[in-house]
Amino acid sequence: MSRRAVTLTLASVLVLVFALAGSFMPVPYVALMPGPTSNTLGVNDKHEPLIKIDGRQVYPATGHLNFTTVTYRGGPGNRIDLFTALRGWIEDDVAIVPEETLFPKNESAKQVDEENTRQMRDSQQNAEAAALQELKIPIATQVVVDAVQKGKPADGKVRPGDEVLGVDGAKVTGVGQVTESMARRKPGAAVALAVRRDGKEEKIPLTTVASADGKRAVIGIVLGEQYKFPFKIDISVGDVGGPSAGLMFSLAIVDKLTPGSLTGGRFIAGTGTITPDGKVGPIGGIQQKMVAARRAGATVFMTPADNCADALAAKPDGLRLIRADTLHNARQALEDLQANKPVPACTKG
């Protein structure tokens, strides 16, 4: 064999070796795939009702109102290889996205998991509030301490989870009221918080300090609002995070609290965030969620209005898309579907 032929052969082998090695090199991308779906009208992995309501009459519910999920491969410390990424790009039910889409550079994987858990918790509370307001069932709110800043006056005196009842003797009904009260004070001013902790009321005297920019008086607490429901609603979904199941939770609660069936026995799935006043918001992974729903047997998919364009472009055969922009409209659409009336659909426009 000539020297030139040997050189070309060796070069080809080296190119092949490098190509094969490169295909198994980790890349900063994540593969999104269809995940499990769960019937909000059914039971969870522990064979307990996924949504349990105590203290209020409930009605039998038939059919399915499934929330959908997306699973992923990759992420910090467990990156996919180039071959997996290339294969994902050509598969219809897989989306390859930059790692930062799920794991921001300034957050660890643990922080992302904690945030997803918090979003699921908030989503459940929002879903409960939206459902009860849709049914005109009165609910109250309470102001609670979400966090206490280290080194500030409240540190060691106020605890996360404390319910704030009053400021300087004035009853508290919302976070804004506390904010306005603090805005009228100067650093060094005294403030007395009335809180409820473990069922007992306490008064906590504090002295304000200047904020980091020196423009405000602060005591170092972060406040949030929680709803006080007139009866108990438990939502148990296991190891699932994120806010996108809100709409389906709300629909299931409405179904359980009203006679008849919203589904008419159909297998309905869907997705969408929910606000306490019933507004439905967009989500990520709509393509994978529709595939998961259709594989599970769904024939109808509740689709957030802002996701309609992407959903239409990737809709699986046999899946009917219903546009949902509010809980009320989604509920009405399911009732109209049973009555063979027109329902709001996703359109290209």
Q: Enter the tokens of residue 291.
A: 């595939």
Catalytic residue among 38, 244, 250, 261: 244
Among residues of the chain, what percentage have pLDDT more than 90?
62
The ranges assigned to domains in the chain are 31-75+118-137+231-338, 140-228
Backbone angles phi, psi at 344, to 5 degrees: -65, 125
What residues contact 176, with CB distance under 8 A and at least 6 apart? none
Classify domain 31-75+118-137+231-338 by CATH number: 3.30.230.10
Amino acid at site 310: D
| Beta strands 232-235; 221-228: pairing state | unpaired
Per-residue pLDDT, averaged over 186-211, amounts to 94
Average pLDDT, the chain: 88
Structural contact between residues 31 and 94, judged by C-beta atoms closer than 8 angstroms? yes
211 catalytically annotated = no
Could you give the CA distance from residue 69 to residue 244 in angstroms, rounded to a whole number? 8
Using CA atoms, how far apart are residues 327 and 330, in angstroms rounded to an integer?
Answer: 5
Has 348 been annotated as catalytic? no
Q: What is the pLDDT of residues 12-58, one digit of tens each?
A: 544 444 444 455 577 788 888 999 999 999 998 888 999 999 999 99
Q: Name the pLDDT band for 2 (thresholds 50, 70, 90).
A: low
Domain 31-75+118-137+231-338 matches domain 140-228 at the CATH topology level: no
**Contact status, residue 122 vs residue 241, Cβ threshold 8 Å:** no
CATH architecture of 140-228: Roll (2.30)
Active-site option among 152, 256, 289, 315: 289
DSSP H or E run through 176 = helix 175-183
Mean pLDDT value across residues 182-198: 92
The confidence score (pLDDT) of residue 16 equals 46
Residues in the chain: 349
> Do the Cβ atoms of 44 and 249 come closer than 8 Å?
no
DSSP 261-330: -SSTT-EEEE--EE-TT-BEE--S-HHHHHHHHHHHT-SEEEEEGGGHHHHHHTPPTT-EEEEESBHHHH
Model confidence at 111, in pLDDT bands (50, 70, 90)?
A: confident
pLDDT tens string 77-103 = 778 777 777 777 788 888 888 878 777
pLDDT tens by residue, 208-253: 999 888 888 999 999 988 888 999 999 999 888 889 999 999 999 9
pLDDT score, position 19: 43
- Ranges 27-36, 99-108, 126-135, 202-211: which has the least confidence: 99-108
Q: Using H for helix, E for strand and C for coil, what is the string for 104-122? A: CCCCCHHHHHHHHHHHHHH
